Amino acid sequence: MPVAELLPITDVSAAACCAPLTKEAIDPAGAETVARTLKALADPTRVRIVSIVASHVGQEACVCDLQGPLGLSQPTVSHHLKVLMEAGFLTRSKRGTWAYYALVPGSLDKIADLLRTV
């Protein structure tokens, strides 16, 4: 038996099957921002860096504080720190020859806020 005989054709509008939005969906620019922010934390090394910095007194750590626990070279650690700074999770201050990185207050709360808007 042909399929057309088994499935009757009915006139059903899209509105009958689709629920209306209860709030405005994220726009393309907002989605790009959320994705970029989440991408910065989508690396286990960067998650560890944030954890290590957050665990230090004053939520601040020097690159030399990170190399040993991470088992990575200074250039590799610096690359990860740069990504986290660009995403707004860390700030950098220079003291002599050392660079210190601090957790931006509320930056981790920002992730929860971003996910609520998705």
* The two structure tokens encoding residue 51: 């954890």
Would you give the DSSP letter of residue 88?
T
- Kindly report, residue by residue over 18-27, the tens digit of the pLDDT: 777 677 778 8
Rg (C-alpha) for the chain, rounded Å, is: 24
Residue 92, H or E segment: strand 90-95
Q: What is the pLDDT of residues 42-91, one digit of tens each?
A: 999 999 999 999 999 888 999 989 999 999 999 999 999 999 999 999 99
Contact between 91 and 102 (Cβ < 8 Å): yes
Question: Which residues face 49 on adjacent strands?
Answer: none
pTM: 0.73
> Mean pLDDT over residues 15-37, rounded?
78
Distance of CA 108 to the CA centre of its chain: 9
Supply the DSSP string of 39-80, one letter for each residue.
Answer: HHHSSHHHHHHHHHHHHSGGGEEEHHHHHHHHT--HHHHHHH
User: What dotted CATH number matches 26-117?
Assistant: 1.10.10.10
d(CA 28, CA 4): 40
- Contact indicator for 104, 90 with CB cutoff of 8 Å: yes
Question: Between 81 and 12, where is the model more confident?
Answer: 81
Of the pLDDT bands very low, low, confident and very high (cuts 50, 70, 90), residue 11 is low
